[in-house]
Homo-oligomer: A and B are copies of this chain.
Amino acid sequence: MPTDESFDLGLISPVSVGRDEAVSDAAILAALVAAEAGLVDALAAEGVAPAGVSGSPLRAIDLDVPALARDAVAGGNPVIPLVALLRAAAPDEVRPWIHRGATSQDILDTSLMIVAREAVGRIRADLARVSAALGAFAAEHRDLVAAGRTLTQHAVPTTIGLRAANWRRAIDRALVRIDHLELPAQLGGAAGTMAALAETVRASPDAQRRQNSVEPADTPGSGTADARIGVVVQGVRRAYADAVGLRHLEAPWHTQRWPVTELGDALTQATDALGKLAADVATASRTEIGELAEPTGGGSSAMPQKQNPARSVLLRSAALRAPQLAATLHLASAAASDERPDGAWHAEWSTLRELLRLALGATAHAADLAEGLRVDRDAVARNLAATGGLIVSERLGVALGKDRAAEVVAQVAAGADIRDLVDPELLDPAQYVGLAGLFTDTA
């Protein structure tokens, strides 16, 4: 197996480094082996392979990874050399069942889904941390009135709590998308018909007989050899999905790439939500604004006045990159000609891995960020007062009528103190936050 040094050192991938073991070459290789081993297990479980045959020995084989990578070039994918290595090292009774009825795409698609499942588990956990932390943050600052900003300008008051509650709403929606993901196993054979495995089963009366005994024989056509074979093959496909811990679909998806694009869309929805959070934290961290600060600033020894919003910076970089990676997955799906396309499928692999890597890094940093986010209440108050009361000008129009409000604004612009012109009660920003509290409570 590859050593710790064997994957991207992150020299120029700061958002992901240390967070991306789940998508390392080692993880992918382990998933490839898991797919091959799971197939052997499934064949045995359904009686196609003899009792006693098991995929376990495959999982224990020590692989020469650099050789494998080198040989992957010739075949255009790593499965062909991997199968050769596994066959060479496997016990005699296991060897004939390795990769039986499968094609490279089956193993590679399945392994990427295994890797995705592990990565998505971590991403989900970190997003849940973000959500919980933002929930607590919103509750704590539910009534902290702050300047609401539209098109860069102070508009009307809002609250720090509501802003955080809205961040959380987007995070929670991304969690819903992630929770609805279906990550299926792939097993279709050379062109998605399972012909080779059906041929194997045809030659295996034991497997057919066993299956026949448990199936009702009174379905029309269910007594035919083909029907019996179909039942066995589907049994293997289902057992394979169980063995690798992925969802069973009733037919191969080699030509329908929604499992990949829906995953890409959900990951991007997550980085979108984090990007929004980061955009607001970065803005609020500006030297002139200073309302928010990250838990530990990315400081600068030469410029001690800086408190760089380092995590927000990384989140923003991830959010800027993810949508185009997801677009590539869609393009690959849309261009997937034939029973296996001439390039579109191959465009998915690295793209999906990079998207998972970004999401892994971004969610981990976001959890740290959300759990330690700090508010400078003085800065919030100072900014809220920056327009000399005009932040509630909209209210004046409602309360005084537009004509009188316009007069007041004109007099203020001419130098008058607004407090001399209007009931001070009307000028209290805290009295003009509408349903901010309610919208915070329901997040």
Contact at B169–A256, with CB atoms within 8 Å?
A: yes
Cα-based distance from A77 to B15 in the complex (angstroms) = 10
Contact at A276–B333, with CB atoms within 8 Å?
A: yes
Whether A391 sits at the interface, judged by CB under 8 Å, is: yes
Whether A147 sits at the interface, judged by CB under 8 Å, is: yes
CB distance from A126 to the nearest CB of B (A): 16
Contact at B11–A305, with CB atoms within 8 Å?
A: no
Which of B17, B66, B73, B150 has a CB less than 8 Å from the CB of A191? B150
Contact partners of A347 in chain B: CB under 8 A: 316-318, 320-321
Contact partners of A338 in chain B: CB under 8 A: 149-152, 280, 283
Which of B148, B275, B287, B333 has a CB less than 8 Å from the CB of A334? B275
Contact at A14–B390, with CB atoms within 8 Å?
A: no
Task: List A residues 197-247 near B (Cβ within 8 Å).
Answer: 197-200, 203, 226, 230, 233-234
Which of B199, B398, B433 has a CB less than 8 Å from the CB of A395? B199
Whether A44 sits at the interface, judged by CB under 8 Å, is: no
Number of copies: 4
Whether A28 sits at the interface, judged by CB under 8 Å, is: yes
Contact partners of A387 in chain B: CB under 8 A: 287, 305
Whether A51 sits at the interface, judged by CB under 8 Å, is: no
Whether A12 sits at the interface, judged by CB under 8 Å, is: yes
Given A272-B261, A332-B320, A393-B304, is A433 in contact with B151 using a C-beta cutoff of 8 Å? Answer: no
Whether A25 sits at the interface, judged by CB under 8 Å, is: yes
Given A150-B338, A320-B344, A338-B149, is A5 in contact with B8 using a C-beta cutoff of 8 Å? Answer: no
Task: List A residues 12-40 near B (Cβ within 8 Å).
Answer: 12-15, 17-18, 25, 28-29, 32
Contact partners of A315 in chain B: CB under 8 A: 343
Contact at A434–B195, with CB atoms within 8 Å?
A: yes
Contact partners of A301 in chain B: CB under 8 A: 402
Main secondary structure of the interface of A (DSSP, over half): helix
> Residue of B at shortest CB range from A252?
B439
Cα-based distance from A193 to B165 in the complex (angstroms) = 12
Contact partners of A314 in chain B: CB under 8 A: 76, 343, 346
Contact partners of A321 in chain B: CB under 8 A: 328, 347, 350-351
Contact at A393–B302, with CB atoms within 8 Å?
A: yes
CB distance from A12 to the nearest CB of B (A): 4
Contact at A152–B342, with CB atoms within 8 Å?
A: yes
Whether A257 sits at the interface, judged by CB under 8 Å, is: yes
Contact at B324–A342, with CB atoms within 8 Å?
A: no
Q: Number of A interface residues, CB 8 Å?
A: 179
Whether A42 sits at the interface, judged by CB under 8 Å, is: no
Whether A136 sits at the interface, judged by CB under 8 Å, is: no
Given A190-B156, A275-B334, A432-B199, is A305 in contact with B390 using a C-beta cutoff of 8 Å? Answer: yes
Closest 4 CB pairs of A and B: A316-B343, A275-B334, A148-B191, A195-B434
Task: List A residues 360-406 near B (Cβ within 8 Å).
Answer: 383, 386-387, 390-391, 393-395, 397-399, 402, 406
Cβ contacts A424-443/B at 8 Å (1 or 0 each) = 00000000111111110011
Contact at A190–B150, with CB atoms within 8 Å?
A: yes
Contact at A194–B343, with CB atoms within 8 Å?
A: no
Contact partners of A310 in chain B: CB under 8 A: 75-76, 151
Cα-based distance from A127 to B243 in the complex (angstroms) = 36
Contact partners of A307 in chain B: CB under 8 A: 153
Contact at A305–B192, with CB atoms within 8 Å?
A: no
Cα-based distance from A152 to B405 in the complex (angstroms) = 36
Whether A60 sits at the interface, judged by CB under 8 Å, is: no
